[in-house]
Amino acid sequence: MKELQGKTAVITGAGSGFGLELARLCAAEGMKLVLVDVQADALARVAEELAAHHPMAQRVDVSSAAEMETLAAAVQARFGAPHLVFNNAGVGFGGLIWEARVADWNWVMGVNLMGVVHGVRLFTPLMLAAAQADPTWQGHIVNTASMAGMLDAPNLGVYNVSKHAVVSLSETLYQDLALVSDQVSCSVLCPYFVPTGIHQSHRNRDKDELAAPTPSQRISQVMVNKAVESGKLTAADVAKLVLDGVRERRFWLFSHPQALGPVGERAEALLVGRNPPDPFADKPEVGAQLRTALRRA
């Protein structure tokens, strides 16, 4: 999809991070904007910033099927089928996998996985119908996963599971779309540590669901905070990667391709039946620090 002027973009998680930066880029390209976020004040700020582009801003909990269905109906009524859908809203959560409560699983999977599921199930049919009606129409879906969808870092289990599911969903979507249309395609975004607000995503969680964090969860929060805040690549850099990927119809969008080495090692271990490799092989001091902290907790 080379030409973006006048086309419609639906962006979830538009109040911060990758969503905000992609909204800015899409506005600069002259696209019609649908801005979606669960955080009302952040959404209001971006809507005000981009007011000259007359965005449609809607507060939505992407984990809610009903709220997403209302959003899709509103988008169709105002703009018709969107040309670009960025299923980007996400939350972070760490700690030893057996310590996560049912409420934690429901929250993370609800936003990270079901938010993408709802975006795919609701907007893909609209896009395919538009493509069938017009042989020149083109559309693209981008789903935000993570490098945690390619690897399984310890002490991040629930998050890993959600992001692996998004990678699987996205690959399947790519193959399914190829069966029925040459006009609609998709990408999966797998960022590594980039300074965004995801490490503070509990700010948007229902306070009734919050519980005192376990020692492993506190340790994970400290380590993730440090890694995210020290990231050299910016959210704006990643947003540009996304828009370039849409134009080039690239499926895999890696913010840090240099970090793919462990993915190859994992695949090699799988092929030969070897146990999973040490995730800290290249940074043994980090692994030692984590083991010590957890065993003392």
Q: Which residues are catalytic?
A: 159
Query: CB-hemisphere CA count at 13 Å for 4?
Result: 22
Taking the C-alpha atoms of residue 48 and residue 56, their distance in angstroms, rounded to an integer, is 11
Q: How many C-beta neighbours within 10 Å does residue 202 have?
A: 15
